[in-house]
Amino acid sequence: MKIIKTVTEMSGLCNTELKNLKTGFVPTMGALHAGHISLVNQSVKENDITIVSIFVNPKQFNDKSDFENYPVTIENDLDLLEKANCDIVFIPQANDIYKDYDGYEMDFEGLDKIYEGEFRPGHFRGVIDIVYRFFSIINPDNSYFGEKDFQQLAIIKLMVKKAELPVNIIPCKIMREDSGLAMSSRNARLSINQKTTASEIYKTLNAVKESATVDQSPEQLISFITREIDKNDDLKTEYVVFCEPESLKSVNIFREKSSVRLCVAVWCGKIRLIDNISLQF
Ligand code: PAF
C-alpha cells in the first residue's frame, strides 16, 4: 500500500500510471471503522485500483470544538486499509490541497439550507469544496459514499450532475453495531452507557419503519419519534423529517407505493449523531 502526502505526487500518478486503470475512490476523514471498510471492500471488488483519502477537512466544520475533537487514529487507519487491500492512501495537508483553490461554486438548489444545513451552516459548502477538489485530482471512475450521510450523498450527486463529472457515485448501506447504532467516527467519543442509550435512536426508527401505514400523518409520527427518543435522559432530537429520497423535499402526506426516507439528528450528551432509514409504502 502506497502512502501519498502531496497533491503533486497524487495528481502526477493519476495522470500517468493510473490513467487507464479503473479507479475507485473512497474519501474519508479517518478514524476508520467497519462502515468505511465496507466502502473500501466494495471499491476493491469493483475497480483495478482503490484510493482512500484521509483528510479532516476544516472547511466543513461549523463548530470549532467539533473539529478540534474529531478523532485522529492514523496508525490504526493505515492498518485497517492495508488489511482491506487498499492500494493508495492519500493524506494531504490543508495548505497543499487548498492552495490556489477557493472552492467549487454551485447552486445547491436550497439543499444546503435544510435539515443538516439548517443546524450546520456552511457544512455542505465545505464538503462540496473538498470532494470536487479530490475528484479533480484523482478523476475516479467510481466513488463510494455511505448512506448514513444521506443529505451529503444527495448533494454530491447534484454536484456531479451540475459539473458533468465523469464519476459514478455509489451509495453504500449504513453499517450498524449489533445494538443497531449506526457506525460513525463520532461514536468513539461516546461512553459505554451513552452507546447503549444512543442505540435507542435506531430502535425507534426501525419500530416506525415496521409499523407506519399510509393513513398515518408524518407530523404525528414526527411527534411520536421525538417523544420516544427524548424520553432517554442523554438524548435530545435536533430534527426529525420524512423526505423524498432523491429531492429531499419534506413529505407531509404518505402515498401508496412510495418510498420515503426518515432522517434524524440527535444529541447524545455533547455528541451529535445522525441516522436515517428507508420506508416503503
Ligand atoms: O463523509 C465524510 O467523511 C466527509 O464529509 C467527506 C466526504 C470525506 C468529505 O470530507
Q: What was the pLDDT predicted at 220?
A: 96
- Total residue length of the chain: 281
Q: Distance between CA 183 and CA 147 in Å, rounded?
A: 11
Active site residue 36: yes
Nearest C-alpha neighbor of 188 from the set 51, 36, 1 = 36
**Beta strand pairing call for 271-280 and 23-28:** unpaired
Task: Give the three cell numbers for residue 9.
Answer: 505526487
The residue annotated as part of the active site, out of 26, 27, 36, 243, is 36
Which stretches in the chain have pLDDT values below 50?
none
Q: What is the pLDDT of residue 123?
A: 97
Q: Using the CB atoms, write b or e for 154-186: b if 16+ within 10 Å.
A: bbbebbbeeeebebebbebebbbbeebbbbbbb
Contacts of 32 (CB under 8 A, 6+ apart): 54, 73, 76, 77, 80, 81, 185
The answer to whether 232 touches 198, Cβ cutoff 8 Å, is no
Contact 23, 51 (CB under 8 A): yes
DSSP states of 156-213 as a string? HHHHHHHHT-S-EEEEEPPPB-TTSPBP-GGGGGS-HHHHHHHHHHHHHHHHHHHH--
| SS3 assignment, position 237 | strand
DSSP per-residue letters across 62-94:
SSHHHHHTS---HHHHHHHHHHTT--EEE---H
Note the pLDDT of residue 58.
97
Take residue 143 and report the three cell numbers written for it. Answer: 466513488
27 lines ligand 1 (CB under 6 A): yes
Strands 23-28, 49-54: pairing kind: parallel
Q: Which atom of ligand 1 is nearest to the CA of 131?
A: 9
Model confidence over 45-95: pLDDT tens digits? 999 999 999 999 999 999 999 999 999 999 999 999 999 999 999 999 999
Residue 149 phi/psi, 5° resolution? -90, 70
CB of residue 130 inside a 6 A radius of ligand 1: yes
Name which residue sits closest to atom 7 of ligand 1, judged by CA. 27
Question: How confident is the model at residue 147, as a pLDDT?
Answer: 98
Task: Determine if ligand 1 sits within 6 Å of the CB of residue 29.
Answer: yes
pLDDT confidence of residue 85 = 98
pLDDT of residue 245: 96
**Cα–Cα distance measured from residue 182 to residue 26, given in angstroms and rounded to the nearest whole number:** 19
Instruction: Give the cell for residue 218.
Output: 408524518
> Ligand 1 pocket, 185 CB below 6 A?
no
Interval between CA 62 and ligand 1 midpoint (Å): 14
In short, whether 131's Cβ falls inside 6 Å of ligand 1 is yes
User: What pLDDT is attached to residue 18?
Assistant: 96
Q: Which position has the grid cell 471498510?
A: 37
- The structural domains of the chain, ordered by start, are 2-172 (3.40.50.620), 185-280 (3.30.1300.10)
Q: How close is the Cα of 127 to the center of ligand 1, in Å?
A: 6
In this predicted structure, what is the pLDDT of residue 96?
98
Closest-lying ligand 1 atom to the alpha carbon of residue 134: 9
pLDDT in tens, 129-156: 999 999 999 999 999 999 999 999 999 9
- Residue nearest atom 9 in ligand 1 by C-alpha distance: 127
Surface-to-core class of residue 31, CB atoms within 10 Å of its CB (0-12 exposed, 13-18 middle, 19+ buried): buried
Q: Are 269 and 234 in contact (CB under 8 A)?
A: yes
pLDDT of residue 217: 97
